[in-house]
């Protein structure tokens, strides 16, 4: 068993005083290997508490850089970190907090191709990702590779948390069988109370420690919800589904897979944009194919002349075939769905598709005030 040196005994003395932890439990934490997926609102407080608690090997996975708008809730970072890779700054900050532990930075985006290798170095995964696609990938990989998982999600003033352990209780897919990305907006679109992920991230750290030590009653088969406005917690019992696609009796998902229509952040970053005024100019003199990726009801309310309605969900499920000679411009209400559609179009071989920057809201604001959107 791992032993503790004099400095560690001083550092962790308040843990050692707890009969539920003691020398044995603290040594177990020292030998533990935990990966935090996402160094965002949830990952920051979770990683801070896990590092402080003495989790011996702590991995952090995130491919983003620090943005000024992150500082309202991502408490590993300060103003001086804006623009720097998140995992690098997070590692520095955590090393200052606890030089006794080993910190591993993964500056990559998690996908079906790399999840197996990355997870193989860890026994427990803390999911702090804000992408629905990543949440399902992490869940499926934890079931398939038999890792414990502590997941949480946040939305405006509300949060939820749930744990999974191999052979103990249901998985995230038992609760929500299918991803419905595009329906659940992330923080950028929906907004979030800055302190909210602090509460949920601290719950994730608590659950992680309990699962590692085998103490207490973890959130297995229980979904905990938190409402900051009413300051109330609720709990829902969840049963394991015999027909679950990944943890059920006859699973159809036996290898991690990227969800339909999954495109990486990097792919979305590479998409070329066109501004509303530029599009107005081009409309008069170029041959353009305009693809409106909103839902039919939104399209019926108002659309650009000549635009074709092809909802994003349909593109995700059926792919895309387009004549390649015309310039193709994708648009939606605010620019989120069209960015994805554009990335998928590029992958499908459409040459240089363009995305209407800011969506039809920008069109209304800058070009045509009477436009219905
Ligand atoms: Zn399941």
Residue 348 burial (CB count, 10 A): 13
Q: How many whole angstroms from 225 Cα to the centroid of ligand 1?
A: 19
Burial of 225 (0-12, 13-18, 19+ CB in 10 A): middle
Number of H helices, E strands in the chain: 16, 13
CA max distance for the chain: 77
Is 187 a residue of the active site? yes
Percent of the chain with pLDDT over 90: 74
Q: What are phi and psi of 102, to 5 degrees?
A: -100, 125
Q: Residue 230 contacts by C-beta under 8 Å, 6 or more apart in sequence?
A: none
> Phi/psi of residue 123, each to 5°?
-105, -20
What are the structural domain ranges in the chain? 31-237, 265-366
What count of Cα atoms within 13 Å lies in the side-chain half-sphere of residue 131? 20
Whether 265 shows a pLDDT value over 70: the answer reads yes
String of DSSP letters for 287-319: -EEEEE-S-HHHHHH---TTPEE--HHHHHHH-
What pLDDT sits at residue 122? 98
d(CA 98, CA 76) in angstroms, rounded, equals 13
Which comes out higher in pLDDT, residue 309 or 179?
Answer: 309
CB 169, CB 148: distance < 8 Å: no
Look-up: residue for tokens 């744990």? 163
Identify which of 131, 85, 91 has the alpha carbon closest to the alpha carbon of residue 110. 131
Q: What is the mean pLDDT of residues 327-338?
A: 90
Per the CB < 8 A criterion, the answer to whether 110 and 63 are in contact is no
Residue 209 parent element (H or E)? helix 196-213
Instruction: Dump pLDDT digits (tens) for 54-92.
Output: 999 999 999 999 999 999 999 999 999 999 999 999 999
Confidence at 182, pLDDT banded by 50, 70, 90:
very low
The class that CATH gives domain 31-237 is alpha beta
Distance from the alpha carbon of residue 45 to the mean position of ligand 1, in angstroms: 27
How many Å lie between the centroid of ligand 1 and the Cα of residue 260? 19
Domain 265-366 belongs to what topology?
Answer: Oxidized Rhodanese; domain 1 (3.40.250)
> β-pairing, 158-164 with 148-155?
antiparallel
* CA of 165 relative to ligand 1 center, distance in Å: 11
Mean pLDDT over 133-147 rounds to 94
Residue 181 has pLDDT above 50, yes or no: no
Assess whether the region 31-237 and the region 265-366 belong to the same CATH fold. no
Q: Could you give the CA distance from residue 317 to residue 131 in angstroms, rounded to a whole number?
A: 18
Rounded-to-integer distance, Cα 146 and Cα 30, Å: 21
Give residue-wise pLDDT tens across range 183-224. 445 555 678 999 999 999 999 999 999 999 999 999 999 999
Contact yes or no for 344/321 (Cβ under 8 A): no
What's the mean pLDDT in 255-282?
84
Whether the Cβ atoms of residue 33 and residue 123 lie closer than 8 Å to each other: yes
Write down the pTM of the prediction.
0.79
Looking at residue 266, what is its pLDDT?
A: 76
Catalytic residue among 187, 244, 263, 342: 187
Ligand 1 centroid–CA 249 distance in Å is 10
Beta bridge partners of 37: 61, 127
Between residues 194 and 352, which one has the greater pLDDT? 194
Q: Once rounded to an integer, what is the mean pLDDT over residues 346-367?
A: 90
Name which of 49, 30, 48, 143 is nearest 90 in CA terms: 48
pLDDT of residue 187: 56
pLDDT per residue over 215-235, tens digit each? 999 999 999 999 999 999 999
Which residues have C-beta under 5 Å from ligand 1, the single-atom ion? Answer: 171, 173-174, 244, 247
Average pLDDT, stretch 265-271? 80
Q: What is the pLDDT of residue 30?
A: 98
List the catalytic residue out of 44, 171, 244, 332. 332
Contact yes or no for 245/173 (Cβ under 8 A): yes
State the pLDDT at residue 260: 61
Q: 205 CA to middle of ligand 1, Å?
A: 23
- pLDDT averaged over the chain? 91
Confidence of residue 158 (pLDDT cuts 50, 70, 90): very high
Query: What are 35's two structure tokens?
Result: 């990966």
Question: CA-to-CA distance for 312 and 342, rounded, in angstroms?
Answer: 10
Is residue 261 within 8 Å of 248, Cβ to Cβ? no
| d(C-alpha 204, C-alpha 202), whole Å | 5
Rounded Cα distance between 219 and 163, Å, is 5
Give the integer Cα–Cα distance in Å for 27 and 31: 6
Q: How many CB atoms lie within 10 A of CB 302?
A: 16
Using alpha carbons, select from 36, 87, 86 the residue that is nearest to residue 57. 36
- For residues 65 and 269, what is the distance between their CA atoms, to the nearest angstrom? 13
pLDDT(294) > 60? yes
């Amino acid at each position: 068993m791992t032993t503790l040196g004099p400095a560690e005994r001083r550092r962790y003395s308040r843990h050692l005083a707890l009969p539920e932890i003691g020398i044995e439990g603290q040594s177990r934490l020292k030998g533990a290997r935990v990966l935090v997926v996402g160094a965002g609102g949830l990952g920051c407080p979770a990683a801070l508490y896990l590092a402080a608690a003495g989790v011996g090997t702590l991995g952090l996975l995130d491919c983003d850089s620090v943005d000024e708008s992150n500082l309202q809730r991502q408490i590993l970072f300060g103003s001086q970190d804006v623009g720097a890779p998140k995992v690098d700054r997070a590692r520095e900050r955590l090393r200052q907090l606890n030089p006794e532990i080993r910190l591993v930075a993964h500056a990559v985006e998690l996908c079906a191709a790399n999840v197996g290798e990355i997870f193989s170095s860890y026994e427990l995964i803390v999911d702090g990702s804000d992408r629905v696609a990543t949440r399902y990938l992490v869940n499926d990989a934890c079931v398939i590779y038999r890792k414990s998982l502590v997941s949480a999600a946040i939305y405006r003033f509300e949060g939820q948390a749930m744990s999974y352990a191999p052979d103990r209780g249901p998985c995230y897919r038992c609760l929500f069988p299918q991803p419905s990305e595009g329906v659940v907006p992330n923080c950028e679109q929906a907004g979030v109370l800055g302190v909210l992920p602090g509460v949920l991230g601290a719950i994730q750290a608590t659950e992680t420690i309990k699962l590692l030590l085998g103490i207490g009653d973890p959130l297995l088969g229980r979904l905990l919800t938190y409402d900051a406005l009413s300051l109330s917690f609720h709990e829902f019992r969840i049963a394991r589904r015999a027909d679950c696609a990944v943890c059920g009796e006859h699973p159809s998902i036996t290898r991690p897979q990227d969800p339909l229509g999954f495109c990486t952040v990097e792919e979305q970053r590479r998409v070329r944009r066109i501004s509303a005024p530029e599009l107005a100019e081009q409309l008069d003199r170029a041959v353009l194919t305009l693809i409106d990726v909103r839902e039919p009801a939104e399209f019926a309310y108002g659309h650009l002349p000549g635009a074709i309605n092809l909802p994003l969900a349909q593109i995700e499920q059926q792919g895309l075939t387009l004549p390649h000679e015309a310039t193709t411009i994708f648009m939606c209400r605010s620019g989120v769905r069209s960015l994805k559609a554009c990335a998928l179009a590029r992958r499908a071989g459409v040459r240089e598709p363009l995305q209407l920057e800011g969506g039809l809201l920008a069109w209304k604001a800058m070009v045509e005030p009477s436009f219905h959107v």
